[in-house]
Amino acid sequence: MLRRTAPILASVPFIGMATGALFLLIALELERADFSNAMVGVVTAAYYLGSVTGTVFFGRIVRRIGFRSALFLCLVGLAASTLALSNAATPTSWLLLRFVGGVALGSTYVVTDSWLACLAGPQTRGRLLASYEVLRLGAVSLGPIVLVMAPNTYGFFYATALYGMALVGPLLAAGSEVGGLKVHTGAGLAEMLLRFWPILALPFCAGFSNAAFYGLGSLYALEQGLSVAQVTIFVSVVLASPLLSAFPAGAMADRFSPMMAATLFAALACCASTAMALAPPSTIWGLGILGVLVGGFIVPLYMLALAHMADHVSGDRTLSMASAGLVSYMGGGLAGPALSGAIMDVVGASGLYMTIGAATCVATGATLYDWRIRRRRANG
């Protein structure tokens, strides 16, 4: 298993560090350019719109050229769009380049998620996906540290170099054939969306919440009175929070069921985000601890939904299944920053965690509804 997954896992740390660095770097650059919170949210939403686009259409390319070549193509696109950000000067250029970067990253996740789902069985899928998430999100949490070494726009050059280093993955891959996977078509994606729509509320809400934090979390921290250095620590700590929760979530999914784990994590995320909105701590330590709880409970929801769907589809539908999960996740990411930014402009910094709390409440309701549907089916 390790030998077969090594090409994917070798690229993950570099992709994660570059992505984590960009979320904070872009937010700070836009704030320095005096963009409003709403505009920062729109730029972040453009990124997720691009991710949705890549997720929907890139499956055909994967089927034609194989996982290895597809991953190589995605990484080249990420590096090129990131390098171009160093010269972005207008809102239009920011929107366009973030859209292109989103297409490349969404396509990257189509490749990696479906590749891993193909390689894992029902008894190991939860832990394999948890290992992938820990590696990816651990790298994302390290990304903001790049900014310490790279002031101003030099951060974009560091991020570009990291995406370039990620090419080690496809270069190490021994083969590029998709094998027996069924071609990803619009009909296959639509079928997955209709079949698993209650479960797909989980990645949607996770994407909504994560994107809102990625785009506006640093601005939330600044409005709480933290310095730029403290904001970097806060964002890094929150991004690292899934390192504590992914393995327990994966183990619980393998031991009991992905939906049991998802119900618990969604409910805890709802409680923690509500507390962050209504009674935010006054110190960086308090903000960090509560932020870790929110992020730690939210992030595994996507992984748990993917594990649940993979347990109920055949191998030839894995690509469509992964695309459906990513479309939902990126769709949430498209809505989260724009809505949260608009609410923050109206009610202040607490608007960020108000919207995250609402999203996690919906996720909790979706898991309970799925339990009800499956119980009815079991009872005939």
Q: What is the pLDDT of residues 305-342, one digit of tens each?
A: 888 787 777 655 667 777 788 788 878 877 888 788 88
pLDDT(186) > 60: no
pLDDT(106) > 90: no
The domains of the chain are located at 2-167+184-378
pLDDT(176) > 50: no
- pLDDT value of residue 76: 92
Q: What is the mean pLDDT of residues 23-48?
A: 77
Q: How far apart are the first and last CA of the chain?
A: 39
pLDDT(179) > 80: no
Token readout for 343 is 């609410």
Task: Calculate the alpha carbon distances from 10 to 5, 113, 173, 234, 275 in Å.
Answer: 9, 14, 10, 27, 38
| % of the chain surpassing 70 pLDDT | 87
- pLDDT value of residue 183: 40
Total length of the chain: 380
Alpha carbons 151 and 134: distance in angstroms, whole number: 28
Of residues 178 and 143, more confidence is placed in: 143
- pLDDT value of residue 320: 73
pLDDT(177) > 50: no
Instruction: Convert 15-39 to b/e letters by CB count within 10 Å (16 or more is b).
Output: bbbbbbbbbbbbbbbbbeeebebbb
2-167+184-378 CATH = 1.20.1250.20
Token readout for 9 is 């896992």
- Max intra-chain CA distance, the chain: 63
- pLDDT value of residue 79: 92
pLDDT(34) > 80: no
Q: Is the dihedral of CA 173, 175, 180, 183 positive or negative?
A: positive
Confidence label for 75 from pLDDT (cuts 50, 70 and 90): very high
